[in-house]
Each structure stands twice: as C-alpha cells, then as structure tokens.
Structure 1
Amino acid sequence: MQKVNEYTELPRFRNGLRKEGFRVSLKRVQRLMRRANLRSIIVKKYRPQSNQGPVENRKNVLAQDFTATKINQKWVADITYIHTIKEGWCYLASVMDLCTRKIVGYSFSRSMTTELALRALDNSCVNQNPEPGLILHTDLGSQYTSHEFEKANQEKQIVHSFSKKGCPYDNACIESFHATLKKEEIHQTTYKDFDEARRALFQYIEGWYNRARIHSSLDYLTPQEAEDKFLKTA
C-alpha cells in the first residue's frame, strides 16, 4: 500500500476541486484513496523539554482573538526546532499575519538566541512596513522577553502581547503553522545539514505555503492572494 501525506494531499485534492467549482467531501476523497490503495502518514511530533524555571506572566493583549480586519494589524510569532544530520538541532523563528495567515518574515539559525527572533521581526517589518500600533503576540520564551527584543518593539512602535505560561492555545495560529510545516515537509525528509534545511524551508514557505497552499478560512485563497485582495480594496 502506497503512503501519502494526509495533511497535504486530502485538503489539496478536495479544496483544489472546490476552487475550480466542483463539490467534493473529505469522506469521498478518503474513499477514493482506499480504492487506490493509498493511506496517510502519521508522524509523531518532537516535543522539546519544557522550561521549568519561574516565568513572570505579562499582559495578553491579543486574548485569543485571532480575527483581523486588515493586514499588518495583528502578528503572531514563535520558534520551532528542526533537526539536521551533521549539525543537530537548528531553529526557525516565524512571524504570521493573522489577517491573511501569510508568513510575513522568518529567520533560520543554528542557535536559538534573541538575535534569531530579532532577525525574523526585522525581516517582517522590511517586507510589510507596518504602521505604528501593530500587535505582536509571542510566548514567554527568553528570546521574546529579552531587553533587546522589547527595545526593538518600542522603536518600531509595536504593541507586544504575551501568552500565559504553559498555554499554547494563546498562540494557536503560529503553533498550527509550525505543526503543518512539520507534517507536510520536515517529517517527510531528512536534512543533511543546515544549508539543505534552509533551502527546503525557503521553498516550502515562499514557494508553497504563502503562494500555493489554499486555506478554507480564507475562502480557499492562498495567503498571498488574500493579501493582494486586501491591498486592492484598501
């Protein structure tokens, strides 16, 4: 029996047909997969050891309100782990616009430092040029609570919002993106080194996720199509 990635192929087949005017249910796609002797791949997630040290709660401005009426109104950010054979664990910091679900900036590094989070934020601001008052929501990781990161937010006139300690639901959208990234790309291959992983991440984020992967929450548009639509009506 041939294996395929359920998270990539089922939504892609079903929603691609819907976008072209055909109506098809998920159950029908699953039934056709069984007839074709295809089954999905289930991958166990890597869960890093949690930080057991004391963490001071900070203000949660976002308060799990993931809706946005315009682009560059609310961003969410997080860091995830990616393994390579030669260099061990590497780290991806991503920033998502909640209005379009677009990854507006990211940074990839061999070490999980404040500089990693700062580069992802800087790249996002260069790409999007947000107006003052943008809300940026993160967890309470040391990279995001550092003096350097807070100073960067103040200089850019960004309102920093924080998840409660141990509550991933407060940052569910970026957590979901990283889970999707791992199911569709990272857990389906093995990266030889940092550079190979970096190239794969660029191809996934810029070539697939932002510009080709449609979202039901965006009325089956891609993140880039959703952003273009908002820009035309602004």
Structure 2
Amino acid sequence: MHNDYKQRFNLVNKDWHSAWCADITYIPLTNHKWVYLASVYNPNNHQVVAHRVGNEMTAELVTKTMQAAVKNTDKPVFLHSDMGSQYISDQFEKLLTKLNIKHSYSLKGHPYDNTYIENFHSMLKREIVFQTKFETIEEVTVSIDWHVR
C-alpha cells in the first residue's frame, strides 16, 4: 500500500537478536476476492509467533495479531515492519508503546529490509497458497494454522 509518510528509522539494521518482524500478505479466494494474513515472526528461532487471517487489511488485524504474539512469550525489544498504513496507525503504535516495544521500519521500497517475514510469506505461498484453491476464509485459516504449527 502506498503512503506519503516521512521515512521512519530502521532500528534493527540487520541485527535481529532482539527483534521480531511483522507483515501482511494477500491470499486469493476462488471468487476473486482476497483475504489477508498478518504474521509476526521470530527470526531467532525461525518460528511464527502469531498469525491471523482476516477479510480486511486493517490496523485491527495487525494489532490483534501482535496482542496474540506477546500473550504467552517474552516480548522482543524491537518489532520490525514496513510502513504500511496498518503498521503506522495510532492503534498499532499505541499498542507497541504500551508493550514497551520499539518500532523499527523498512526503508520505503526495500522489502528485503524485512527479509525474514518476506521469506516466510513467500515460502508459504509456494508451498500452500499457489497449490490450493481456497473457497472460503475458513479454508485459508485451517490450512495456515496447520502449516505454521
């Protein structure tokens, strides 16, 4: 999603020892609609910390995903994401402030600044999404849940 916001700082700078990363990806349905997968990934143990599938790509989707991510595990010092409107929303930024997590951002036009989550979503699409014709959001959710556990 394009935005005209001023570039914010990359605090991680490829030092992922105390950072998680987050992003959203699109998943097509057979009716030519889309659903959206929001994921939080821990590059230190190569695991998805939390994920949610939604009908809309909203600040609420990424906020709920982050809330689930910190629910049963130690919080990171940093969360790294792109500067999509969901991640720079007041709702999401307030949650990170409340959790005392510093927000790090990819440089505009540089998705490889967030390489771990980009790679995870790419692999997921190659292994699951491009091989399956999903009719409903429930089918997507079950498939993604099975894949990431």
Q: 2:32 and 2:97 mapped to 1: Cα distance?
A: 35
Deviation at residue 82 of structure 1 after TM alignment = 0.4
Q: Which amino acid counterpart does residue 104 of structure 1 have in structure 2?
A: V
Asked if residue 80 in structure 1 is aligned to residue 21 in structure 2, the reply is no
2:12 pairs, out of 59, 62, 67, with 62
Superposed displacement of residue 56, structure 1: 1.3
Partner in structure 2 of residue 119 of structure 1: 64
The CA distance in 2 between the partners of 1:129 and 1:110, in whole Å, is: 29
1:129 deviates by 3.6
Number of paired residues?
A: 149
More helix by share: 1
RMSD: 1.3
- Supply the AA of the counterpart residue of 2:21: V
Which runs of 4 or more aligned residues in structure 1 lie more than 6 Å from their structure 2 counterparts after TM superposition? none
Structure with higher Rg: it is 1
Paired with 1:82 and 1:54, the residues of 2 have a C-alpha distance of 26
Residue 101 of structure 1 aligns with which residue? 46
What is residue 153 of structure 1 aligned with on the other side? 96
* Shift of residue 194, structure 1, vs aligned partner: 0.8
In the TM superposition, residue 65 of structure 1 has moved relative to its aligned partner by 2.5
What TM-score comes out, normalization by structure 1 length? Answer: 0.61
1:165 corresponds to which residue? 108
The answer as to whether partners of 1:55 and 1:165 remain within 8 angstroms in 2 is no
TM-score normalized with structure 2 length: 0.95
**Alignment gaps of 5+ in structure 1:** 1-49, 207-234
Return the offset for 1:86.
3.8
Rounded Cα–Cα distance in structure 1 between residues aligned with 2:52 and 2:73: 15
Return the alpha-carbon distance in structure 1 between the equivalents of residues 32 and 123 of structure 2. Answer: 23
- Distance (whole Å) between structure 1 residues aligned to residue 132 and residue 91 of structure 2: 35
3-state SS of 1:99 partner: coil
